[in-house]
Structure 1
Amino acid sequence: MKKAGKVVKNEAVSAWGAHLDTLVENKLTLTHDEAELHLYETFQQAQLIQLRFNAPVMTSMLSGRKVMHLREMAPFNYQPGESLLLPSDRLMQIDFPDATFEDPTRCLALTISDEFIQEVVSELNEQVPRVETSDQWQLDTDNYLLQNDPEISSLIDKLIRLFRENNPFKPFFVKNTLRELIVRLSQTQVRTGLLQQTSQHLTKNRLAYVVAYIRENLTRALSVEELCDKACLSKSHFFRLFKSELGVSPVQFVLTERIRLAKAILSNPAKSITDACYESGFNSLTHFSNAFRSIEHISPRQFKRQLFGLN
């Protein structure tokens, strides 16, 4: 790694209790049989700092902002709540446009042995096969940028705590948490593919076909039996596979899609809350309001006011 920061006084201490050796990418490394956790802090602006790892790596932003320069990708802002999966030996060049001593940029890099990743993925495919036999669970580490969901965020926080613990059970706890993280990341990638590139999977994945069917028929009642029929699966099998690959039940997915449609309708100044209710498939304003609040944590009226800056 290319270092650009000056050495600082030994009495200066990082957020993780280690002495600061440099103001740019000051690092604390913690080890496990299957992984290494690197915690980084940068306290001054810097440009094109080079970094690479000799194992597949998941990086996650904790505070501040970076600008990432990666092969075959335009430079992009990298911010808290986001993670990036990269293969072994992939060069990163990093800008720190906002870092200061009072407000440092913090991130982590978690390297995991490729053998361990393949072991977990193979076990996942054996025990929880995907809906289509031609599809396999896998972990794509080729410049894969993702928004952390609550489960992944929780696992990241847990790993930081576990790696720093002095506990005789630490190796056991870390290994199990790494296993869960690999599974969650694989689920996230499958779910993202089915939901964001649905049309690419229509002819080869029954769940993608059901997702498209739900989106095309949101404004009318959709029974579980109808969706099972479209997937050519029994009810129990359909429920299990839908939740396995999409992370939610079919009923919850339909509700979430209707709220997504309602938000788009509410974004039109000419549309009312009543319009959004009935045009997104709800048959009761009370039900619509309660469902909207359960997902968005605000009422439809508050959403519309915030959207247009109304009092």
Structure 2
Amino acid sequence: MSSGRKSLSNSDALPAWGGRLDALVENKLTLSHDVAELHLYETFQRAQLVELTFDSPVLTSMLTGKKVMHIDALKPFDYLPGESLVLPANKPMKIDFPEATLQSPTRCLALTISDEFIQQTVNHLNEEYPRCEPSEVWEVNTNNYHLQNNFEISSLIDKIIRLYRENNVLKPFFIHNSLEELIVRLMQTQARRVLVDQARKYMSSHRLAFVVEYIRNNLTKALAIEELSNQACLSKSHFFRLFKNELGISPIQFILQERIRLAKQILSNPAKSITDACYESGFNSLTHFSSAFRTVERISPRQYKQQLS
């Protein structure tokens, strides 16, 4: 790893990870495992164009504060808590820390994982859980992949930090399993982005993309698994398994999420009521709608609409 300028430590700065504070810029704690290293970073002062490179594929994830990332010829972009970046080995980056202070440090992690371990995990997944289309295989996209962490990935990141720091004779085993799950979750997230965010583009060549678009066009209908599996030209059991493998959730969960997404769009219209949002997004009762909305969004439809206004 290479880094830009550093400043002397300050006795007022309190590192969250323990140990001695060496620098206000790029103060780092590294914890090792046989196939991966966890690097925990804290920055206590503003800085610009701090250089950083890792010699293995890396997942970085923001914990607190804000960075501005400069990678290749991409336009510099904000990097915020709840977001992650997947980068290939030896990818140079430059980082701005526009908000770091002694009172509010910027914190992030970098998890470097060996190429061999990643490939073993990918190969195992392709052997045991092949993708829906024969022409496609599971793979990890490390080409500057920027993502919003979902609940599963956020939970895994928190778990991996905890595992690296705990004193347990089975720690290597737990870390190994968690790293495998993280790699698989990342592949599912990447596949989901293609199938869900670009469904219309791929619906003529990918049966699950076709089903995603079919669901969106028929949200007000009662959508049964048998109907969806027929659209995909698959048996019910095969369709259910492939859908969950590739998107990380069941078809029923996806339909629920899409109905809530549509309901949020309707609620954003001041002329529309909660009752309108309920029935126009495919729910058949206000009680069910309110319960489902709260499950997905953690607030009620009424609270959501109040926040908008």
TM-score by length of 1: 0.94
Tell me how far apart the structure 1 counterparts of residues 14 and 297 of structure 2 sit (CA, whole Å): 40
Answer whether contact 1:207 1:242 (CA < 8 A) is retained.
yes
Partner-residue secondary structure (3-state), 2:28 = strand
Q: Are 2:200 and 1:194 equivalent residues in the alignment? A: no
Partner-residue secondary structure (3-state), 2:219 = coil
* Residue in 2 that maps onto 1:32: 33
The aligned amino acid for 1:204 is S
Post-superposition shift, 1:9?
5.9
Alignment of 1:1-311 (within 5 A): 1-8=2-9, 14-308=15-309
Could you say if the C-alpha distance between residues 169 and 282 of structure 1 is closer, same or farther in structure 2, counting changes exceeding 3 Å? closer
Could you say if the C-alpha distance between residues 282 and 167 of structure 1 is closer, same or farther in structure 2, counting changes exceeding 3 Å? closer
Structure 2: runs of 5 or more not aligned: none
Give RMSD over aligned pairs: 1.6
Tell me how far apart the structure 1 counterparts of residues 260 and 64 of structure 2 sit (CA, whole Å): 31
Could you say if the C-alpha distance between residues 164 and 300 of structure 1 is closer, same or farther in structure 2, counting changes exceeding 3 Å? closer
The aligned amino acid for 1:85 is V
Post-superposition shift, 1:168?
2.9
Post-superposition shift, 1:7?
2.1
Answer whether contact 1:81 1:147 (CA < 8 A) is retained.
yes
Tell me how far apart the structure 2 counterparts of residues 116 and 301 of structure 1 sit (CA, whole Å): 47
Could you say if the C-alpha distance between residues 47 and 278 of structure 1 is closer, same or farther in structure 2, counting changes exceeding 3 Å? same
Tell me how far apart the structure 2 counterparts of residues 295 and 134 of structure 1 sit (CA, whole Å): 34
TM-score by length of 2: 0.95
Could you say if the C-alpha distance between residues 173 and 290 of structure 1 is closer, same or farther in structure 2, counting changes exceeding 3 Å? closer
Post-superposition shift, 1:247?
1.8
Answer whether contact 1:13 1:19 (CA < 8 A) is retained.
no
Post-superposition shift, 1:10?
7.9
> Percent identity between the aligned chains?
66
Tell me how far apart the structure 1 counterparts of residues 302 and 182 of structure 2 sit (CA, whole Å): 38
Answer whether contact 2:13 2:102 (CA < 8 A) is retained.
no
Answer whether contact 1:8 1:21 (CA < 8 A) is retained.
yes
Tell me how far apart the structure 2 counterparts of residues 11 and 271 of structure 1 sit (CA, whole Å): 53
Residues 186-207 of structure 1: CA distance to partner in whole angstroms, max 9, x if unpaired? 1111111111111222122111
Post-superposition shift, 1:165?
2.9
Post-superposition shift, 1:48?
0.3
Answer whether contact 1:10 1:21 (CA < 8 A) is retained.
no
The aligned amino acid for 1:73 is L
Residues 99-120 of structure 1: CA distance to partner in whole angstroms, max 9, x if unpaired? 0111111111111111111110
The aligned amino acid for 1:217 is N
Tell me how far apart the structure 1 counterparts of residues 282 and 246 of structure 2 sit (CA, whole Å): 25
Post-superposition shift, 1:246?
1.5
Question: In terms of mean alpha carbon deviation, does 148-157 or 51-60 score higher?
Answer: 148-157
Tell me how far apart the structure 1 counterparts of residues 230 and 308 of structure 2 sit (CA, whole Å): 39
Residues 49-81 of structure 1: CA distance to partner in whole angstroms, max 9, x if unpaired? 000111111101111111111113211111111
Tell me how far apart the structure 2 counterparts of residues 9 and 296 of structure 1 sit (CA, whole Å): 41
Post-superposition shift, 1:280?
1.4
Q: Once superposed, which parts of structure 1, at least 4 consecutive aligned residues long, lie more than 4 Å away? A: 9-13
The aligned amino acid for 1:89 is N
Answer whether contact 2:10 2:24 (CA < 8 A) is retained.
no
Post-superposition shift, 1:162?
1.9
> How many residues are matched?
308
Answer whether contact 1:58 1:110 (CA < 8 A) is retained.
yes
Answer whether contact 1:10 1:19 (CA < 8 A) is retained.
no
Partner-residue secondary structure (3-state), 1:50 = strand
Answer whether contact 2:12 2:102 (CA < 8 A) is retained.
no
Structure 1: runs of 5 or more not aligned: none
